[in-house]
Structure 1
Amino acid sequence: MHLTHRPVQPDDVATLCSFPQSPDELFYMFPKASYPLTPTQLSDAIAQRSGSTVVESNGTVLAFANFYKAEYGGVCALGNVVVAPAARGHGVAHHLVTAMIDLARQQYAAREVWVSCFNHNTAGLLLYPQLGFVPFGIEERQAWDGTRVALVQMKQVFS
């Protein structure tokens, strides 16, 4: 599978809204959104964030992420990370997060990239350390269904 990435386009939004397959998956991607994800919810998030990027293969959009914080010369915080169900387990998230790290370094001269991952998101918890992220904090949060969850905060620091 040949993967490329590019800035998100308005035509991508409806496709991206189909990626979270359950309230849990949407919570991992976008904790403030309500399931099912709507184009309005996602478009509003894109408008308030920076660096919104999609990964595609042969013209098919497979993944999405952005920065909810993007400080020039400081911290870029990765958010809204999601991969199409059929593309999971094929290196798409690895490509996406690597592209976002490169964007943080090149466009924002970032010193650090942060990512937060909920404790039930096993795929994310296994992926981020492989890409050089190290845990630095855990916060208690409330999931969409009211249960207690742990938000694991990780960062990658550039020398």
Structure 2
Amino acid sequence: MPLSHRPVQPADIATLCSFPQSADELFYMFPKATYPLTSAQLSEAIAQRSGSTVIEADGAIVGFANFYKAEYDGVCALGNVVVAPTARGQGVARYLVQCMIALAREDFAAREIWVSCFNHNTAGLLLYPQLGFVPFGIEERRAPDGSRVALVQMKQVLG
């Protein structure tokens, strides 16, 4: 499956809103949103963030991410990371994160890229270290049902 990336466009929003398949998946992608994800919620997040990027395979959108923090010559923090249900387990997330690392380096001259991952998000917890991210902190958060969850913070120093 050949993958490509490009900046998000308004016409992409409805498709992206269909990616989180449950309240838990939306919580991993976008903790402040309420399920189901709406175009208004996602559009507002995109307007407040930087580097919003979609991944395409054979003309279909299969992934999305952006930076909720993007400081020139500083830190970029990756957020809203999500892969289409039909494309999971096929390397899309790996390609997406690698694209975002390159974007942080090239467009923001970032020295570090950070990502946070909830303890129940096994796929993310296994992927990020494979791509060079190292845990540096854990914060307690509350899941939508009020239960305690751990938010594992990871970073990669960009050479």
* Shared fold (TM-score, shorter chain, > 0.5): yes
CA distance in 2, matches of 1:145, 1:78: 25
Counterpart of 1:50? 50
Residue 5 of structure 2 corresponds to residue 9 of structure 1: no
Within the alignment, does 1:86 sit opposite 2:86 as a pair? Answer: yes
Q: Give the drift of 1:16.
A: 0.2
Task: Find the aligned partners of 2:145 and 2:92 in 1 and give their Cα distance.
Answer: 29
Q: Distance in 1 between matches of 2:66 and 2:125?
A: 18
Q: Which amino acid aligns with 1:95?
A: Y
What SS class does the counterpart of residue 107 from structure 1 fall into? helix
**TM-aligned CA deviation for residue 58 of structure 1:** 1.2
Unaligned runs of 5+ in 2: none
Between the aligned partners of 2:8 and 2:87, the Cα distance in structure 1 is 18
Q: What is the aligned residue count? A: 159
Q: CA RMSD in A?
A: 0.4
Q: Take 1:79 and 1:71, find their aligned partners in 2: how far apart are those partners?
A: 14
- TM-score, with normalisation over the residues of structure 1? 0.99
CA drift at 1:158: 1.8
Consecutive unaligned residues in structure 1, runs of 5 or more:
none
Q: Residues of 1 paired with 2:158 and 2:120: CA distance?
A: 28
Please state if 1:147 is matched with 2:143: no
Q: Which amino acid aligns with 1:42?
A: L
TM-score between both structures, scaled by the size of structure 2: 0.99
What is the CA–CA distance in structure 1 between the aligned matches of 2:144 and 2:103, rounded to whole Å? 31
Amino acid at match of 1:66: N
